[in-house]
A and B are shown apart, each in its own frame.
Chain A
Amino acid sequence: AQSVTQLDSHVSVSEGTPVLLRCNYSSSYSPSLFWYVQHPNKGLQLLLKYTSAATLVKGINGFEAEFKKSETSFHLTKPSAHMSDAAEYFCVVSDPSGTYKYIFGTGTRLKVLA
Chain B
Amino acid sequence: KAGVTQTPRYLIKTRGQQVTLSCSPISGHRSVSWYQQTPGQGLQFLFEYFSETQRNKGNFPGRFSGRQFSNSRSEMNVSTLELGDSALYLCASSLGRVDNSPLHFGNGTRLTVT
Contact = CB atoms under 8 A, between A and B. Distances in A.
Contacts of A32: 99-100
Q: Which of B31, B50, B103 has the most CB of A within 10 A?
A: B103
By secondary structure, the B interface counts as strand
A46 B4 CA distance: 13
A34 B40 CA distance: 23
Contact of A44 (B48, B100, B105): B105
A45 interface: yes
A96 B99 contact: yes
A94 B100 contact: yes
Contacts of B100: 32, 49, 51, 94, 96
B83 interface: no
A90 B108 contact: no
Interface in A65-114: 90, 92, 94-102, 104, 106-107
Contact of A43 (B45, B99, B102, B107): B107
Given A43-B105, A96-B100, A104 B50 contact: no
B55 interface: yes
Contacts of A51: 100
Contact of A49 (B42, B96, B102): B102
Contacts of A34: 102-103
A98 B100 CA distance: 10
28 contacts: A32-B100, A36-B105, A41-B108, A41-B110, A42-B107, A42-B108, A43-B6, A43-B92, A43-B107, A44-B90, A44-B92, A46-B102, A46-B103, A46-B104, A49-B100, A49-B102, A51-B100, A90-B43, A92-B103, A94-B99, A94-B100, A95-B99, A98-B99, A100-B50, A100-B99, A102-B45, A102-B103, A104-B42
Interface in A17-44: 32, 34, 36, 41-44
B48 A100 contact: yes
B96 A100 contact: yes
